[in-house]
Structure 1
Amino acid sequence: MSVSTLTETIGRTLAELRLSRGWTLKKLSEATGVSVPVLSKIENNQTGISFETAMKIMGSLSLSLDDLTAEKPELPHISGRRAVNPAGSALTIPSMGRSYELFATELRQKRMVPMITTVNNHSAEEWGPFSRHDGEEWMYVLDGSIELHTELYAPLVMKQGDSVYIDSGMGHAMVALSELPARVLSVYAGAGEPFGTPNSDK
């Protein structure tokens, strides 16, 4: 799925969900904390949606990533399935001071979400408000080095090959420690698609 297709799908799904609840854009804005103009542009496919805004909407409305991006009816449980991502085929979503590569995006009802975050920001302030979402998360530094900031612990310096497992409901942010970007493999796990409300786009 391309970024443009993903954006169009999210906009259509969000509009259908809002109308099914009998909500105005103002009501949806109050429920999600995302401004009316931004929501209107998303619904009408007039702007892209940032990763932070998507997760904020999901967290506010108790939606999974599948709920927001599903293009097909929910399939019955299948005991065996797979998703292949040839090199360079991940869905890349740019964000503030970082970018995300999402894998296995064609699979629905996933129990974990694998992704790679490229960290370009060099301070926790550049990251923005702490990320937080339901479930747990495992992080592994692929390239470079980072400093992991969390609500409950002192900053943790992590170099290539280091990993950490956290309760992802605990606010967290990553900071690159060198001029070159760092790349971090993350796997989210929880009930359904474990996304919540990290940062705010208004």
Structure 2
Amino acid sequence: MEISTDRPTLASVMRGIRARKGWTLKQMSERSGIPVSTLSKVEHDRLTLSYDKLQQVSERLKIPMSDLFAETQSRDEQKVTGRRSIGRIEDAVQVTTDNYDYHYLCTDLRQKRMIPIVTRIRARSAAEFGDLVKHHGEEFIYVIEGSIEVHTEFYDPVILSEGQSIYLDSSMGHAYVAAEGCDEAVVLGVCSSSDAGLLDSLLNISKRGG
């Protein structure tokens, strides 16, 4: 028996949104601000959209950014408890900010309580990073390459090297920067929360450059 491994793509998501709204490509273009030719290529999986364009679609169509990463599960669909997703870096949703390059993994699963992210850290000091960030839940950070300096609201900064990790309360202000002598570092982070809107919260932080 062959098991389907199809995963939602931006093409199927955009087609689904347009179908639910009953819009033509021209109407979708007028509402989203994306040219008809571009939308056509996206819907036929011949082109993707940059993070800025996804943000534009989200704001103009008034839909959560995370809804553009995977199809929204039908309300009438029975919840499945045996979910799984294979995370490949080439399938990740990439978001680049002044401080980080984020790679969001397993975005085909909706309403996750854990958000896995591979992050390349480029900020080299707390001053360069800016204000500490906060969000709901807890997070775990494991250093894959290089070394990082962890700044938190209530503790002195701590240095973590390859193979070391930290678990912290995400509602406490925090920031990760490359440690002295390290140009860049790569970490695996897992953010967890009972809040179903965790992904949107993290993406909003990304839009602010955190």
- TM-score tier, shorter chain, comes to 0.5 to 0.7
TM-score (norm 2): 0.63
- Partner letter of residue 160 of structure 1? E
Aligned mates of 2:8, 2:94 — CA distance in 1: 9
Q: Does residue 186 of the first structure (1) align with residue 186 of the second (2)?
A: no
Moved over 4 A (4+): 45-50, 63-70
Aligned mates of 2:127, 2:50 — CA distance in 1: 24
Q: 2:33 aligns with which of 40, 44, 47?
A: 44
Deviations 1:110-164 (A, max 9, x none): 1100011100111112223212110010111111000001111111111111111
Aligned mates of 1:117, 1:64 — CA distance in 2: 22
Structure-1 residue corresponding to 2:125: 123
Task: Map 1:63-78 to 2 at 5 A.
Answer: 66=66, 69-74=69-74, 75-78=77-80
Is residue 144–residue 162 contact of structure 2 (8 Å, CA) maintained in 1? Answer: yes
Task: Map 1:52-71 to 2 at 5 A.
Answer: 66=66, 69-71=69-71
Task: Map 1:66-105 to 2 at 5 A.
Answer: 66=66, 69-74=69-74, 75-86=77-88, 88-105=90-107
TM-score (norm 1): 0.65
Tell me the secondary structure at the aligned position of residue 91 of structure 2: coil
Is residue 122–residue 183 contact of structure 2 (8 Å, CA) maintained in 1? Answer: yes
Aligned mates of 2:175, 2:112 — CA distance in 1: 24
Aligned mates of 1:181, 1:194 — CA distance in 2: 26
Aligned pair count?
162
Aligned mates of 2:189, 2:106 — CA distance in 1: 13
Tell me the secondary structure at the aligned position of residue 127 of structure 2: helix
Return the structure number with greater relative CO, CA threshold 8 A, min gap 6: 1
Aligned mates of 2:70, 2:119 — CA distance in 1: 23
Task: Map 1:130-169 to 2 at 5 A.
Answer: 130-169=132-171
Is residue 149–residue 176 contact of structure 2 (8 Å, CA) maintained in 1? Answer: yes
Structure-2 residue corresponding to 1:24: none
| Identity rate, percent | 32
Q: In structure 1, list runs of 5 or more residues that go unmatched.
A: 17-41, 58-62
